[in-house]
Structures are given as structure tokens and as C-alpha cells.
Amino acid sequence: MAVAEAKRNAAEARLSALALPQGGWTGVARAEALARLRAMGLPGRRDEYWRYTDPATLVQAEAAHAALFDPQDEPMVFTSFDRVKVVFVDGVFDPAQSDDLEAAGVELLSRQTADIHWAQSLYGVLETRGQTPVQRPLAALNTAAATEGVLIRVTGKAAKPVSLIYLHKSETSDAILHHCVKLEEGAELTLLENGPAAARFNKVLEVEVADGARFHHIRTQGRDHERRAVTHIFARLGRESLFKSFTLTANGVLTRNEAVIELTGDDAVAHVAGAAVGDGDFHHDDTVFVTHAAERCESRQVFKKVLKNGAVGVFQGKILVKPGAQKTDGYQISQSLLLDDHSQFLAKPELEIYADDVKCSHGSTSGAIDETALYYLRSRGVPLRQAQSLLVLAFLAEAIQEIEDEALAEDIRSRLESWLARHGQ
């Protein structure tokens, strides 16, 4: 009782620091989210789902201070790609730096346009579905409080990727963004996200992928060492649809990325992958929940982490196969490369299967760099650092391979290489 009360008090304290938006077409969804949040309270360390990650700084009323990163230190990703740029500075849309959104069919949540019926059937809807069987109060908080975000509906093959760029300019900013993406039947979209966003960042992305539609998501996050982030992706997949999400995390004192994916149409494919590299004060948590609710669907979870100087990696991944979801093909791998004895990796892989004709495999490993391979490379004249970097990239390769577009994959690789070079690998 005392615990539940503390959680509810935490929710009230957090809410009191926020100006909650009222009315508009999201009004009902927000009110419901608020009620959900008040009933659940905010997470605490004692929650099973937060066993490996302390949510205190994500939950507390004010964002902790986060120093800005020197942009000279690291080039931005995606700059050479033809894309529709949507820029948010500390969580606030910046029209001056953004492209023409109307032409690209991108709507803004902040405009509160009333006739977005499609968005009304999505905003908070997938988040609500994602609250069972596990509670995700920080996502409910997001639905209740977000005033900014994009609403994208795609009916054909999108001409260009939509690129969400999150700039961080204030050391105390506390950003909440909520995006809704709907891919109608047969549509295709690539969504890019990058940037540190804010001192504290809470983001929800709801994605509805209709029958035969294809969604590609590539994001990079981190960069500002002290920034904290909690993100949720809620996706629902129709028949023969494809969902592919890849995240690169480099730095960031605390990151919790949740992905909640529901395969509801037969023959759908969902891949979610992540590569995380952390040096020092770095805590990175991937929490994934994939539900197979239809036949012959394929899901893959591929998560790789490279940790050094006391960095901590967490993976909680689940595949739930519902009754009747026959011929499910589920795969899950989580691995960490520990570059020293101070770093640690905590993994909780789970399978829960209620159908008899399925193929599911999972594995989790943690290991050091292969000294023999390192020596072999060096004996061929490759200098130590370069050899290490080659082996680290090799370790991450399986995750990066999940990016279909080779040019984007190359961009991610070179970003990683520059990170490794700066961090003595």
C-alpha cells in the first residue's frame, strides 16, 4: 500500500510541474491517459519492470541539469540525405529550421487541427493497448501531457524520408513529444530521428502499419553525455506488413527505450534492433515486448551493446505468442561486449508461448574482446586501436544489418567509427 501510494504521489508531484493541455481533438485521449496515470502512479525502483534501471530521474518533478555537447566534437548524421526535416529545439517545433511540412503531408500536434480523424483513432490508442500486461506509466504521462509532435499519414510510397531532428539548447529543458504515424494499405515510409533533444526527454511514437505497408525507422540518440531519455514505440502491424526499427545509442547518462510491437495480421514482419556504445557514466536499457497474435509472422530482436569504464547495459525482451499464432518465427538475441571489468550487462530474455507450432529462439551473451582475433589482426599489421575498432564494429554488425538502406547503414557505421575513435577504441 505504501509503495502504491508513493508511486501515486510521485505522479501528482510530476503533474503539478506540468501545464496540462485541455480540450481539442486529443482532449478525451488525454483525460483518459491522465486517469490511467493517476491509477498506476509513476514507476519506482521496486517495480519488477524497473529492476535494472532506476527511474528516479525520469520520474522526478524537475529535469536534472544536463550540460550541452560541443557540436564540433561530432558531426550530425543523415546530413547528406534528401529528407523532409522537422526540427524541434528542446522539444519545441522550430519552423525556421524545418522544411515545408504541408507539402510533405506532415501535420503538427501543436496545431490541434480538429479534422484529423485518423489521428484521433491513433493518439493514445496504441499506448493504451500497450499498458497490458505490463504497465508503462511514463507513456501514459506522455499522452496526457504532450503538446508537441508530428502526425504523419502516408497513403503511397513517401517521396522522401521524414527526418525528426531534436536539438538540445537549454541545460534544464524537459521535453515531451508524441508522434503518430499511420501507414495506409501498401504505403511506405522511412522515419529518421536524431539528436539529444533535451536535458530530459520523454517521447512516444505510435505507428499503425496497415496491410502490406512498410515502415522503416532509423534513429540515433545520445550524444549529450548528461541527457536522460525515456522513449516508447507502440506499433501495430497488419497483414503482410513490415516494420523495421534500428536505434544507435552513443552516450547519454540514462536511456530507456521501450518497443511494444503487436503483430495482428498474418504474415507480418517486425524487426527491432539496437546498437549501443557507452563509455563511463552510461546506463542504457532496451525493453522490448513483441506480441504474435496472427499466423506466420516473423519477429527479430537484435540488440548489441559495447560497454566500457563502468557503463551499464540492460535488455529486457519478451516474445509472447498468443493462442492460434501458429507458424510464428521469433528470434531474439542480446549481446554485450564488455571492454573492461567495471562494465556490466543485465539481460532478461523471456518467451511465453501459447501455440504449439512455432519456432522461437533466444540467446544472450556477454563477453570480452577476442584477444586471439586481436593478435591475429595485429600480426597482419593492423594497429591495436584500429584492430579493436574493427572487432567492435564486427560485433555490432548483426544489428546494423537490420538497416535495409545501405547508404543509411553506412552513415551509421561511420558515426560509430568516429565515436570509437574518440573513445580510444
Partner 1 sequence: MLEINNLHVKLEEDDKVILKGVNLKVEAGKVHAIMGPNGSGKSTLSYVLSGRDGYEVTDGSATLDGVELLEMEPEERAAAGLFLAFQYPVEIPGVGNMTFLRTAVNAQRKARGQEEMSAGEFLKVVREKAKALKIDAEMMKRPVNVGFSGGEKKRNEILQMAMLEPKMCILDETDSGLDVDAMKLVAEGVNALRDEGRAFLVITHYQRLLDHIKPDVVHIMADGRIVKTGGPELALEVENNGYAGILAEVL
Could you say whether residue 96 binds partner 1 (CB under 8 A)?
no
- SS3 assignment for 109-124: HHHCCCCCHHHHCCCC
Q: Can residue 406 be called a binding residue for partner 1 (CB under 8 A)?
A: no
The one-letter code for the residue type at 110 is: S
If the CB atoms of residues 316 and 389 are measured against partner 1, the closer one turns out to be 389
Stretch that binds partner 1, among 143-151, 208-216, 246-254, 369-377 (CB under 8 A): 369-377
Beta carbon of residue 272, minimum distance to partner 1 (angstroms, whole number): 20
- Measured between alpha carbons, how far is residue 190 from residues 53, 119, 370, 397 in Å? 30, 19, 36, 21
Query: Does 379 interact with partner 1 (rule: CB under 8 A)?
Result: yes
**Stretch of 20-28, 215-223, 316-324, 382-390 contacting partner 1, by CB under 8 A:** 382-390
Kindly write down the DSSP assignment for every residue of 43-74, as one continuous string. --TTSGGGSSS--HHHHSSSPPP-PPP-GGGS
Please report whether residue 395 would count as binding partner 1 according to CB under 8 A: yes
What character string, x for contact with partner 1 (CB under 8 A) and - otherwise, covers 255-274?
A: --------------------
- Contact residue for partner 1 among 1, 2, 70, 380 (CB under 8 A): 380
Task: State yes or no: residue 421 binds partner 1 (CB under 8 A).
Answer: no
**Counting contacts by CB under 8 A, is residue 338 touching partner 1?**
no
DSSP state of 32: H
Smallest distance, partner 1 to C-beta of residue 395, A: 6
**All cell numbers assigned to 95:** 519552423
Structural contact between residues 172 and 198, judged by C-beta atoms closer than 8 angstroms: no
Residue 147 cell numbers, joined: 503538446
Instruction: Please report whether residue 306 would count as binding partner 1 according to CB under 8 A.
Output: no
Count CB neighbours of 82 within 10 A: 8
Which one of 373, 410, 414, 422 is in contact with partner 1 (CB under 8 A)? 373
Question: Whole-angstrom Cα distance, residue 338 to residue 335?
Answer: 10
CA dist., res. 263 & res. 325, Å (int):
10
Q: Does 383 bind partner 1 (CB under 8 A)?
A: yes
Choices 54-62, 223-231, 312-320, 380-388; region in contact with partner 1 by CB under 8 A: 380-388
Name the residue among 283, 287, 292 with its Cα closest to residue 265.
292
# binding residues, partner 1 (CB under 8 A): 23
Minimum distance between the CB of residue 370 and partner 1, rounded to whole angstroms?
8
Does position 117 interact with partner 1 (CB under 8 A)? The reply is no
**Smaller CB separation from partner 1, 86 or 339:** 339
Nearer to partner 1 among residue 14 and residue 304 (C-beta): 304
Task: State how far the Cα of 247 lies from the Cα of 303, in Å rounded to an integer.
Answer: 9
Q: Which stretch binds partner 1 (CB under 8 A): 51-59, 235-243, 254-262, 395-403?
A: 395-403
Q: How far is the CB of 375 from partner 1 (least distance, A)?
A: 5
Q: Are 195 and 86 in contact (CB under 8 A)?
A: no
As a residue count, the chain comes to 425
| Backbone dihedral angles phi then psi of residue 387, each to the nearest 5 degrees | -65, -45
Which range in 52-60, 314-322, 378-386, 412-420 contacts partner 1 by CB under 8 A?
Answer: 378-386
Shortest distance, position 24 Cβ to partner 1, whole Å: 50
Beta-bridge mates of residue 6? none
Region of 149-157, 210-218, 324-332, 368-376 interacting with partner 1 (CB under 8 A): 368-376
Residue for grid cell 544472450: 364
Q: Residue 382 and residue 392: Cα distance in Å, rounded?
A: 14
Helices (H), 210-367: none
Q: Which residues here bind partner 1, judged by CB under 8 A? A: 370-373, 375-384, 386-387, 390-391, 393-395, 397-398
